[in-house]
Structure 1
Amino acid sequence: MTEPPERPDRHPQTLGHLEIQGSGGHLEIRDGHAESPRPERHQEAPGPGRQAPAVRPADSHVEIQQKLAAALADLVPDDPSIPPHPYLRRHLAQHAAQGHVLDDTHVPPALLPWETSAAVRRLLAAGESSSLRQQWLQAWAKLEPFTRDLTPLSRLASLQLAHHAATARHLPPERRGNPPEPFAESPVTPLWSDCASAENLWALTDPAVTSLTSVTPRGPRRTLVVAGDDHGAVRLLRPDGTAAAAPLALHQGAVTHLLPLADGLVVTAGTDGRVTVLDAHRARPIRQIHHRERAWVTSLIRHEQSEHAPALLAAYGDGHIAAFDAATFQPADIPLPVLESAPVLLQSTRLPGPADPPRTECGSPVRGGEAAVSGPPRSGTPVLLFAQHDTVGCFDGRTTARCSRHPAAVRALLALPDRSGRYAVALEDGSLALHDAAAPQLRLPAPTGTGPDTTQATALQVVEVENRQTLASASADGTVRLWELPALRPLHLALPGHSAPATALTAVTRDGHTRLYSAGLDSTIRTWPLSSAALQNPPPVWTPITASALSPPPMRLLATAEEARTKVWNIETGAEQLVHEGDSSTALAWVPLGTRLLLAAGMSDSSVVLWDLTEGGAASTVRALTGHYSPALCLVPMIDDATALLAGGGADGRVLVWDLSTGRTVHSFSQHVFSVRCLASVHSRHGFLLASGGSDGNVRIWDLRRPPREAGGGHRSDPVTIRCEQHAVNDVAFFPLDNGGLRLATAGQDGSLKVWSVREGQGQEPVPGRQERSRERSYDGVDLVREFNPGDGELTAVTRFTDGRGRTVFAVAGRTGIHLWDATVDRPLLQAVTGYPVNTLKMAPQRASESVAPVLLATGEAGTMILRLDDKRL
């Protein structure tokens, strides 16, 4: 489809039933789809089939685009289920941006689920329209990278959730009013949110990116960001985050290092021991430079040594260093230090003047400070910095010297680009420090708060902020931090974004503006503008929610745990109550016990505490349940007329069941080898069945009708054991069938959801499950009947409900959102994008007599959301 002209011409463009015609300064828009006039959105915009206002030849290009955007916006149907004209989907946002009216009026929310330009995020970033009303556009921009393969219905639901999270945090229903008109028919209605939106997302990558750099072109070519991933591919990305070419498979392991050279060349190295070179602008591999078998590359640098041509140096995990001519890529014969057989990090710098550190001869490996003394290097000598274990040394082509020794192993080493001889180190204990190779006894001040408890840095990069050199560090907690040089004082607040450790950093300067890019193990690349104005108010660093639970009716109480606080929210009124402070909770569950409503919480001291919140006042402690050797990770109550039990699964690999009336442990199961991650229960004809899933990849089903052993705290029968072959099992969910049968769903670390048919029986030995769907083979009372893989990374949670049409619908949490799947006919129904991993999915308890829409609790890295699902619209 062709772009519209920047100015009216004398030739009409007819696109389907939409006609744009310019003649003699006259602009006319017709829509053949319209059958009746509609209320006008703009005073200056005509309704369908009516003539637009005349545009004089003297009017500016901006004015023309404003009028064109207003007229086109009026053609967008109010009902988001009706697809707008393809021209509107592709070009309306561009017209609004060129007219400086990129706002929610000129790009209506009803268009966004159908928008196909994938440019809204880029247009918002390039505009200067912060005063415009852009709430819906801003919400869409945060989702845009996730939505390219989504259906319009999924886009509609995702947009509504993102807008609610950004504008209605903690607002109870009576203060929100009715949903906006375009979303009145959405299958998902947010009831409560306390969560962050996906911030600063630049690109999604699968698999995760492990290295980053950028290539600055000469001439008209655009800057490219180059990303190496965990599976050995190199990706070339344009400034807007889109792919410039297909991924290049260059390695058989993770690409750990990328080194840019002149003319768009990039040298790559990885865990397979290979070093290759590619032409980034032509997206073409050139050659493999080197391959060292059974070793991985730990550093890749360009180094200039006196009396020798510039060389490329590749260091390996066994301490070997290979040298190549930086122009011809042929092996180079240059002096190199002899090092221990241990991983080594390299950096290149130049000493500004003479120094007098203790030195050893080139042929002796540097170990601690045991070397003999030799003469100092000459002023301005190029120096090779190397780090092994806890020591940083330097080599000037003749001799080696120890520059600094540290209290922990060196994890990252970076020479400052000012050729001052100074270098930064990040240690395994989380501390950062700045040293001077020219004065090895001088240790420049470390930032306040560094030490063993500080978040470990995973990558270092020097960037410019307002023309000042600044050190950027990527952290294992997913944040990026900026440090003022040389004092290493924190500059502004931490920059959040990644839900897993950050792995790599790079910076790109275009038109005088610098942006910092970070990659993480959450398979995202995020970016921040490096200006004081932008850094003054970075997005808040959200404290991860460690547990959540939604109470049964009639009350709607939401319990959440974060850090050392456990809180309860009344989502109907917005009231907040602090239940406990000073100890973190690892699992939560509501326990309706007679007329009392109890909250059970697994605590960091391995106990499970019961609080009474019946009266709505201060929480009173009922009792503490003990028996676990490490914190409980999951809790599930089992209550009926004759039984009041609570089950807990812990990091100690044990499943304990307590009698709530006495606090006594009535069952203790220890068959799991590693942590018990999830529990689920179901009331069968004669009592409760309990399922537990764990890090050992197995699910065990316990029949609690069978009495415990009188001694030893064990069980008289072995459980039914399912070896799920999903790596770790993250969540389980039971669901009974109308014919009396029983099924069990398991969400796996491998990204699959498996559905098992459970027959009453007793298993003996675990039998591997089958990856393919099967209704034929059964074992130990269990059949694998269905499998679903939404392609959204590791599945972390699963729950289910039966809709009004009798369909069994699963809600499954993946890396970027929630997936609804109709297990009856094996069909995906909806994907609601969150932009961050969701760790918990639970259907809200309901009375058996109630016939209301199901309510879903979703909790993840960035907060909590409660949704009502309208199954009639799925």
Structure 2
Amino acid sequence: MTTSAQPGPDGAVRAHRRVAEVLAGLAARSVDVPPHPYVRRYLTEHAARGGVLDDEHVPGHFLPWETSGSVRGQLGMPISEDPSRLRLAAWACIEAFLGDVGVESRHVSLAVMCRAFGAPMPAGARRVEPMWVRMSVAGNVLLSGEHPVWAMTPVPLPDGRLLLATASRASTVTMVDPATGNRVGDPFAGHRGSVRALAALPGDVSLLATGGDDGTVRLWDPTTGTQTGQMRDGHDGPVLALAVVPAPGGTTLLASSGADRTVRLWDPDSLREVIPPIASGWVRALAAVPVSDGVSWLAAAGTDELVRLWDLTGAAREPLVGHTEVTRALAVLPGPSGRPVLASGGYDGAILRWDPEAGRQVGEPLLGSGGPVFSLVTSRFPDGRTILVSAHADGLVRLWDPVTGGQAGEPVLAHVRPVRTMTSLPVADGRVLVATASWAARVWDPAVPQRSSADASGRCDLMAVVPLDGDLVVAMVRGADVDLWDVGDGSRELRASFRHGSRVRAIATLTIPGLGTVLATGDDDGEVRLWSAASGEPVLARVGPHPNGVLALTGVPAGDRTLLAVACGRTVYLWDPETGEAAGSLGEHPHAVCAVAAVPVPDGRTLLAAASGRVVYLWDPVAGTRVGELAGHDDHVNALTVTQSADGTALLVSVADDRTLRRWDPSTGTQAGEPSTGHKGQVCAVTSATAPGGPLVASASYDGNVRFWDPRTGQGDLVVVLGGPLSHVAMAAGADRAVLAVCGPAGVVVLAVRR
């Protein structure tokens, strides 16, 4: 790209600013007409170079048309929460996840993020409008994909740049610029199977070491992506960890551990082992620990509750005893006396500090509440203090002052799934950033307070949308608590709440003559309770307890009454909710029944569909007999819903871990058309409603997307990109709109849907 800039840096900035202002004026002329391709590609870049990359100079309705895909990099990562560019920061949170979704989907997704950030909403009419959003929004996304990231390491280049190497279940290594989030070059390809371990070797020529499931340790030139060597006689099984080990004489060795239960020490120049393999057990983490006289020892974690130590001859040193469960993570940090301290973390959730030469603990254990410790690294605060950073199974990252043993800041919700790997990133301005990864890789500055977690009032496990009094009420389940909310545009008001004796696992709505709309909820103790949807007061008798926890619920019309179907374990139990009496049970399924749905068929009966494993079984609930099987999914079926076909008859819709949505004609037991695809993760939930304009189906996935479908054709209609895994979705239609509620580990979104 070229621009007519004035001589000198100040002149260039002014020129870019003027160009950005002109392009912004062109972009603002119409909300619905695509801007010129040059505007779409270069407006944000001119604004960034002109020092005006803010919400005033980049119109909100323009962002869905933006094609550079590098706004987050132009903002500078990690992105600061500058009030003048909140909308741009909201866009940056989902930019890496948008892929090839259309402009309308991008517009809706941006509106949801703006609601989450409290940023100005983009102009323009939308078919789907956010009503209420409470989400933990973790931005600064470096990388996202279909596979979890298993390893990362910083790679300094000879020209002074710092890149981040990442490895996943794919057999390649991807290089990323951590300052912009842009991928650098083509992926490094050569391993057969997943790459699980990375290490950057220091020296005049940068080298990247990789270890893979093929048992090999390979060396690469990170500037070209070419393989420069491969260690001879590799591991007999996957390579699990790598570490750079300083050796006497200023040389560098490379340590590796493998599933063959050995640790090996290599000379990266000769590509040979320098000592015989060390019988080590299953080692997940390695670290070089400086000891006296400039010598290093090798520390290993992952075999059992011990931290094992060897010198560079392979001789074992006294192991460090203190953890009560398997160790998983190691880091080396400076000690108060100048001697290095080794930190270890494990499945017991404790972080222990050690003087490895003395073989004793330093200070008290560092105890958080995040469960197993998966990774440890060091960072540095602006005042020069070294801090210890721990990553946990609950997705939280905790900061510790290793001198005082206290926490050095509030925990950060880095991911809503376990943090699989973490690394430090020392950047040119003296800061030490931290990159964390689960299914996406993110970068953040530990010295800057972060958006740490969702508002507690927004955390939710299950949801239901309940038609009531001509309006729609949203039921939110959190643990054993159920709250009923009247949700408006940007606000909500508590209508009622009630509590179970244990965690609620299933929720459904029933219509019972004389009682109106009733909520049924089932819990881990196998008990089902019935509540008035209007008041939250208990009605009728409790149902159960059942021999197992309740997994799914639905109402089933059966003649002149409505039965309650309760899925527990491999059996579906039928109850008369008005009397609390048992009305039968439906067989032993081959696997646990995780979803049930009532399906009307043309002969006037209502069948019960029950998902068990990869198959959906159809039952006549009155006769208690199985009448059909719907087989076609390639993986576990997670959810069911019922909608209308083009001729007005019922269609059963199923979603599964095979990432597909399938439509079935329950009267014939055949699929209606081809499977619907589009999700890039397991599809965990599905719902339907007859919205103004026709029937509508929505699905939610671990890929962080809600997809809307036309059930008559199976075609995707709209995508809402939320950037975090989703677990449940519910929808119901009112007079002029449908309301859809979706939740997951990151929080809750309630949307108004108009066709």
When normalised by structure 1's length, the TM-score is 0.78
User: Is contact 1:103-1:132 (8 Å) kept?
Assistant: no
Cross-structure match for 1:464: 380
Counterpart check, 1:689 vs 2:607: yes
Question: What secondary structure sits across from 1:439 in the alignment?
Answer: coil
Question: What secondary structure sits across from 1:74 in the alignment?
Answer: helix
Higher relative contact order structure (alpha carbons within 8 Å, sequence separation ≥ 6): 2
Q: How many angstroms apart in 2 are the aligned matches of 1:461 and 1:517?
A: 10
Q: Which amino acid aligns with 2:317?
A: A
Cross-structure match for 1:548: 463
Q: Which moved more, 1:795-804 or 1:274-283?
A: 795-804
Q: Kindly state the Cα deviation for residue 312 of structure 1 after the two structures are TM-superposed.
A: 1.8
Q: How many angstroms apart in 2 are the aligned matches of 1:502 and 1:690?
A: 40
Q: Kindly state the Cα deviation for residue 63 of structure 1 after the two structures are TM-superposed.
A: 4.7
| TM-superposition CA deviations, 1:150-188 (whole Å, max 9, x none) | 2111111211222223339xxxxxxxxxx968322x221
Q: Which amino acid aligns with 2:717?
A: L
Q: Kindly state the Cα deviation for residue 403 of structure 1 after the two structures are TM-superposed.
A: 2.9
Cross-structure match for 2:716: 828
Q: How many angstroms apart in 2 are the aligned matches of 1:341 and 1:125?
A: 43
Counterpart check, 1:840 vs 2:724: no
| TM-superposition CA deviations, 1:334-373 (whole Å, max 9, x none) | 3665x36555753321323xxxxxxxxxxxxxxxxxxxxx
Q: Kindly state the Cα deviation for residue 83 of structure 1 after the two structures are TM-superposed.
A: 0.6
Question: What secondary structure sits across from 1:163 in the alignment?
Answer: helix
Q: Which amino acid aligns with 1:394?
A: L
Cross-structure match for 2:320: 404
1:599 to 504, 513, 519: 519
Q: Kindly state the Cα deviation for residue 405 of structure 1 after the two structures are TM-superposed.
A: 2.2
User: Is contact 1:410-1:425 (8 Å) kept?
Assistant: no
User: Is contact 2:645-2:712 (8 Å) kept?
Assistant: no
1:139 to 90, 95, 112: 90
| TM-superposition CA deviations, 1:409-456 (whole Å, max 9, x none) | 433242415483532222222222122212224353112456xxx411
User: Is contact 2:264-2:276 (8 Å) kept?
Assistant: no
| Identical pairs, percent | 26
Cross-structure match for 1:663: 580
Q: How many angstroms apart in 1 are the aligned matches of 2:500 and 2:544?
A: 20
Counterpart check, 1:155 vs 2:74: no
For structure 2, the residue ranges without an aligned partner over 5 or more in a row are none
Counterpart check, 1:182 vs 2:123: yes
Q: Which amino acid aligns with 1:213?
A: T
- Between Structure 1 and Structure 2, whose CA radius of gyration is higher? 1
User: Is contact 1:392-1:402 (8 Å) kept?
Assistant: no
Q: How many angstroms apart in 2 are the aligned matches of 1:461 and 1:279?
A: 25
| TM-superposition CA deviations, 1:615-668 (whole Å, max 9, x none) | x3x634643221433322322223588222222224x23322221011123232
Counterpart check, 1:720 vs 2:628: yes
Cross-structure match for 1:747: 655
User: Is contact 1:232-1:250 (8 Å) kept?
Assistant: yes
Q: How many angstroms apart in 2 are the aligned matches of 1:570 and 1:195?
A: 19
Counterpart check, 1:274 vs 2:181: no
Q: How many angstroms apart in 1 are the aligned matches of 2:118 and 2:500?
A: 28
Q: Which amino acid aligns with 1:743?
A: L
Q: Kindly state the Cα deviation for residue 121 of structure 1 after the two structures are TM-superposed.
A: 1.8
Question: What secondary structure sits across from 1:623 in the alignment?
Answer: coil
Cross-structure match for 2:682: 794
Q: 1:181 to 1:68 in 2, by over 3 A?
A: same
Question: What secondary structure sits across from 1:535 in the alignment?
Answer: coil
User: Is contact 2:156-2:163 (8 Å) kept?
Assistant: yes
2:408 to 479, 486, 491: 491
Question: What secondary structure sits across from 2:42 in the alignment?
Answer: helix
Q: Which amino acid aligns with 2:389?
A: A
| TM-superposition CA deviations, 1:62-95 (whole Å, max 9, x none) | 5554444333322224533201122221222233
Cross-structure match for 1:117: 68
Query: Which runs of structure 2 are paired with 1:36-115 in the superposition (5 Å)?
Result: 62-115=13-66
Q: How many angstroms apart in 1 are the aligned matches of 2:455 and 2:739?
A: 28
Q: How many angstroms apart in 2 are the aligned matches of 1:97 and 1:307?
A: 48
Counterpart check, 1:389 vs 2:388: no
Which structure features the higher share of strand residues?
A: 2
User: Is contact 1:799-1:843 (8 Å) kept?
Assistant: yes
Q: Kindly state the Cα deviation for residue 219 of structure 1 after the two structures are TM-superposed.
A: 1.9
Q: How many angstroms apart in 1 are the aligned matches of 2:504 and 2:656?
A: 24
Q: Kindly state the Cα deviation for residue 809 of structure 1 after the two structures are TM-superposed.
A: 4.3
Cross-structure match for 1:7: 6
User: Is contact 1:89-1:116 (8 Å) kept?
Assistant: yes
Q: 1:230 to 1:420 in 2, by over 3 A?
A: farther
Q: Which amino acid aligns with 1:400?
A: A
Cross-structure match for 2:699: 812
Counterpart check, 1:302 vs 2:261: no
Question: What secondary structure sits across from 1:107 in the alignment?
Answer: coil
Q: How many angstroms apart in 2 are the aligned matches of 1:681 and 1:638?
A: 5
Q: Which amino acid aligns with 2:678?
A: P
2:356 to 402, 421, 437: 437
Q: Kindly state the Cα deviation for residue 537 of structure 1 after the two structures are TM-superposed.
A: 5.8
1:568 to 454, 471, 484: 484
User: Is contact 1:558-1:570 (8 Å) kept?
Assistant: yes
Q: 1:541 to 1:725 in 2, by over 3 A?
A: same
User: Is contact 1:210-1:254 (8 Å) kept?
Assistant: no
Counterpart check, 1:535 vs 2:440: no
Q: How many angstroms apart in 2 are the aligned matches of 1:64 and 1:115?
A: 21
| TM-superposition CA deviations, 1:810-847 (whole Å, max 9, x none) | 3222312112233544533221111112222222155x
Cross-structure match for 1:265: 207
User: Is contact 1:627-1:656 (8 Å) kept?
Assistant: no
Q: Which amino acid aligns with 2:499?
A: H
Cross-structure match for 1:47: none
Q: 1:591 to 1:488 in 2, by over 3 A?
A: farther
Cross-structure match for 2:287: 347
Q: Which moved more, 1:413-422 or 1:251-260?
A: 413-422
Q: How many angstroms apart in 1 are the aligned matches of 2:80 and 2:328?
A: 41
1:256 to 178, 196, 211: 196
Q: Kindly state the Cα deviation for residue 292 of structure 1 after the two structures are TM-superposed.
A: 4.3
Q: 1:585 to 1:130 in 2, by over 3 A?
A: closer
Q: How many angstroms apart in 2 are the aligned matches of 1:127 and 1:287?
A: 35
| TM-superposition CA deviations, 1:222-257 (whole Å, max 9, x none) | 321100111222111123222212222333333221
Question: What secondary structure sits across from 2:348 in the alignment?
Answer: coil
Q: CA RMSD in A?
A: 3.1
Q: Which amino acid aligns with 2:708?
A: L
Count of residue pairs the alignment pairs up = 737
Q: How many angstroms apart in 2 are the aligned matches of 1:291 and 1:797?
A: 48
Q: Which amino acid aligns with 1:810?
A: V
Q: 1:137 to 1:582 in 2, by over 3 A?
A: farther
Cross-structure match for 1:559: 475
Q: 1:59 to 1:145 in 2, by over 3 A?
A: closer
Q: Which amino acid aligns with 1:733?
A: T
